[in-house]
């Protein structure tokens, strides 16, 4: 029978032996980083496509500034090109729309950037003032959800593709 003292002694010896192993086996700790913002993920959105009938800055009656430029990622471009018998019923996963709000029809100052992306079947939003790269708010704010619920799958600036005409 092994005594309690010898069990403790064995545990202590094992701890010392393990502590003496070279530290090269362990990965150095990395700082925890926050997930990138939607705006960071969008990158240079001004190089993205523009929706049909939204190729130029448009006046709006919305909280995004008096005039907006709208940009769509390649997922939305592909969705808009789909021709399905039933049309498209919802935007695809990772669809992203960026709206840049200005205080004038030409030139002018950037007053706001709003980004929306479909993630896990729901839309997430971020809104920035024109001079910051940190969101004023993000996620599913009531103000965004409430207004955008009037759109087709939460998009208000352009429509989902219709079914092809019967012929």
Given a cut of 80, is residue 43 above it in pLDDT? Answer: yes
Sorted by sequence, the CB contacts under 8 Å of residue 140 that are 6+ apart come out as 122, 123, 124, 125
Domain residue ranges in the chain: 38-148
Closest CA to 97 of 33, 144, 136: 144
pLDDT single digits (tens) 108-130: 999 999 999 999 999 999 999 98
* Count of Cβ atoms closer than 10 Å to residue 153 Cβ: 17
Closest CA to 71 of 88, 90, 57: 57
* Least trusted range by pLDDT, from 6-10, 92-96, 153-157, 160-164: 6-10
Rounded Cα–Cα distance for residues 159 and 136 (Å) = 27
Given a cut of 70, is residue 38 above it in pLDDT? Answer: yes
Given a cut of 80, is residue 32 above it in pLDDT? Answer: no
Q: Return the half-sphere exposure (C-beta side, CA atoms, 13 A cut-off) of residue 100.
A: 25
pLDDT for the residue numbered 23: 47
The pTM of this model reads: 0.77
pLDDT single digits (tens) 50-89: 999 999 999 998 788 899 999 999 999 999 998 788 889 9
């Amino acid at each position: 029978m092994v005594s309690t003292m010898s069990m403790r002694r064995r545990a202590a010896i094992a701890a010392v032996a393990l502590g003496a192993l070279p530290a090269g086996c362990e990965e150095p700790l990395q700082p925890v980083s926050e997930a990138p913002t939607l705006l960071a993920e969008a990158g240079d959105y001004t190089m993205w496509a523009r929706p049909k009938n939204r190729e130029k800055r448009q006046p709006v009656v919305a909280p995004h500034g008096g005039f907006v430029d709208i940009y769509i990622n390649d997922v939305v471009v592909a969705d808009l090109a789909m021709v399905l018998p039933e049309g498209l019923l919802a935007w695809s996963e990772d669809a992203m729309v960026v709206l840049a709000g200005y205080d004038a029809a030409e030139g002018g100052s950037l007053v706001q950037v709003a980004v929306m992306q479909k993630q896990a079947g729901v839309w997430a939003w971020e809104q920035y003032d024109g001079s910051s790269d940190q969101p004023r708010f993000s996620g599913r704010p009531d103000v965004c959800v409430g207004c955008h619920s009037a759109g087709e799958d939460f998009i208000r600036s352009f429509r989902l593709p219709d079914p092809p005409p019967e012929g």
